Structure formats: structure tokens, C-alpha cells
Amino acid sequence: MGTALTYLSGFGNEHVSEAIPGALPQGQNSPQRAPLGLYTEVFSGTAFTQPRAVTRRSWVYRIRPSAVHPAFRRMNNGLLRSAPFTETEPNPNRMRWDPPPPPTEPTDFVAGLNTIGGNGDTLTQAGVGIHLYAANTSMTDRYFMNADGELLFVPRHGSVLLHTEMGPLEVAPGEIAVVPRGIRFRVELLDSTASGYLCENYGAAFTLPERGLIGASGLANERDFLAPTAAFEDRDEPVQVVQKFGGNLWVADYDHSPLDVVGWHGSLYPYKYDLARFMVISSVSFDHSDPSIYTVLTAPTDTPGLANVDFVAFPSRWLVAEDTYRPPYFHRNIMSEFMGLIRGSFEAKAEGFVPGGSSLHNTYASHGNDAETFEKGSTAQLVPQKLPDTLAFMLETRWTVRLTRHALNTEYRQPDYDHAWSGLKRAFEVGDPLTR
């Protein structure tokens, strides 16, 4: 299999790829006999009658139909959990975690999934699951498919090669990848270990946010998203296929690889994006912009502007606002915020939030800077400042995130996170001109 990638002509638009020239029929989707003796199969990600602008489906031409497999049987979920999340009661406390320890036993991507929490319901296709992954072993004879939601990969350490039905995607820290609901894939490690964050979106598929008054340029551009080139595995040997369905893991023993698509065309496919290509837009006069200005991808709902989940990135950038408290101000939001740090440090925290760590501020949880960051932000000389070599992200979701029992009780959760704000003192002086 190769790892060639092609630029998309438009996000979600029709894309065409062949592993062997002539694998795709010309002029129609399903001729009586497909080229090269292949089987024709359609893969739908949206209902047949949805508007053209949101329709996602692809035609694939494969060595065997995906229907050729035995029955699935339940398997152990490990630390993977799914919506509805009911292990713990909704918790208003602010949460922060150190990076979990790496696995010591041979662990592939599926075995290394570890759920923080989430919301919604997989069966009604609303909400989100928030997971971590850690692996030290490639998936060679095992494949994975998620029927509950699409998967957004955010690598933190180690590059991975996602071998998908549509072809391979190499994804490194600083990049993201999305594998749509229902697509089979396996994860090959390109380094000795790999770890990162995984967003499971149960709702409408991720798409680019509207730019509104920003206009036609800025934020993430369609042409910077990459799709895989068709490649296939022609393997007649025993393999396992693990499927996440209705919140649980199921497994079946195949006698062939499910990645046998020789050609495909359509608007439903995996893709990747380099966050270094994100065009940051922020204030050049005064005041701190809302974090929504950093939205890379959004999963919309029926209510305009209210996301099932937004993926927001905070890359290296310049700060130039004058007469302004430049770090994020203290705030309480209706949306719940899960944050992760890929590299560097985050401008709103002095210490405790490290690469591979994460935090959760649920709906209306009061949060903001610690005392040290507040002091620096209030007294710093406001010259143009570059935030170098930093990359943080946020998953912002409309509903309260309920934790798994493991995430709540694990030893790498910081029990003293509230202490981060204990150094903030009373700040009201009657003699101050602003209080007269």
C-alpha cells in the first residue's frame, strides 16, 4: 500500500481515486458487470433524501462485498465507555488530568482506548464521547469500525498510519484525521509508541464552520484537507474485525481483509489536516476574542450556531492587542469545554497543564487564569508577543459531560486542581480611581 494523498477540490465534495487504472466504471455507478470483475457497493453516511449540500456517500468497487462475514459476538469493552454515560452523576467540579502512564503490556489501538466521558446517546445520534488512546503495538491482523460515530484523531505523541477502506492516511502530532462512521480501518504505529486524544462524534458529521463577516479567507481552507489515494489489501487469511455498536464492542473472525477496495468515488471518505495551515484570526486592536474564532471543524445541530461539538485549535500566533488583558479572562460558559495540550504550554496556565494532559470545565463552571498568569497578564508590557511552539485544542459541546468511573477515580486525575485559583486575592481598593 502506498501513502499518496490528494488535495480535496472542496470539503465534502465528490472525490475519485483508483488503486489500479480502470477500476472505476465510466458514465454510471453500477453497471451490470463492474470493471476488473469487482463488486459494486454504495456506502451512505446520510439519509437518501437529505439536501445535496450535506449528502455524504461513496461508491466503492471491491474484491468482496462487505457483507461477506460471519456473525459478531460481544467482547470486553476494557476502559472504553459510550453514551449514554451513567456510571457517575453529573459533576460540577473542575477537572484536570496528568498524562496517563503508557501501557506496559503489548497494546494496540483498540485495547488502549480509555474513555474520559461524554454526553448524548449513540442510538439517537447526538452527543460526543471523549477518549484517550495509547498503543505500543500495531494492528496487523485486527481491524476496527465504529457504527456509533465518526472519529477525530488528535495525535500527541508518535505518528500513526491509518489503513482505511479508501486508502492510507499518515497522521503525525500537529495534524488531525477524521474517519467517518462505518469505515473499517487498522492503526499501524510508525514509532515505537503512540498516544493522543480521540473525539467520537455521535451527531452530524464534522464540517467547516461558516465564516460570516470574516469573508472567503481565513481559518481552515478547504484545499488544505487531504484524502487518501485508493489502495487495497488482498489477504486471504484469518483476521479479526472489531465493531463498536450501540456503545459496546463486538468482534467477528473474517477469512480476509476488509480493506479490499480497489477504486472509489464519492463524498464520504477519511481525511486529514495539518493544523499548521490554520489561518489564525484575532484582535489587532483591543480585547480578547472569543475562542470560537479558532474553530477548525464543527458538528452542527438543527439550531444554527449551536454545535453538537466544535474542534477548536490554539496554535502558535502573535498577540498584539493594546490596553488589554491578553490571556483568556475569567469566564463561565453554557458550553462544556474539554481541553488537551499537544505541545508547549498554554497561555492561560502557569503550571500543571502539560502535554498529554487534559482538563474539563463543564457548563457554567467558573474558570480562568491562575494567580501567576493573572499577575503577568495584568502588569506585562504590551508589546507584540509571539506565542511560539504551542498547540492546544478544545472540544466544546452543548451538553454536560459526564465522567466515567475510571476518569473520576484514576490516580492521574489532579485532586487539588481547585488550588490553581487559591492565590487570587481580594482586588477592590476604595482609593482606586476606578472605584470612586
Q: What is the rounded CA–CA span in Å between residue 184 and residue 165?
A: 6
Beta bridge partners of 95: 360
CA–CA dist 229, 220 (Å, integer): 22
Q: Torsion angle of alpha carbons 376, 378, 382, 384, nearest 10°?
A: 50
With vertex at residue 250, the alpha carbon angle to CA 248 and CA 256, rounded to the nearest 5 degrees, is 150
- The CA angle 328-330-334, to the nearest 5 degrees, is 100
* 182-198: burial string, b at 16+ Cβ within 10 Å, e else: bbbbbbbbeeeebbbbb
Q: CB of 357 within 8 A of CB of 340?
A: yes
Say if CB 161 and CB 187 are below 8 A apart: yes
CA distance 420 to 367: 10
Radius of gyration (C-alpha) of the chain in whole angstroms? 23
d(CA 313, CA 186): 26
Measured distance CA(213)–CA(66) in Å, rounded:
45
Which residues does residue 338 pair with via DSSP β-bridges, in sequence order?
360, 395
Catalytic residues: 288
C-alpha grid cell for residue 247? 456503545
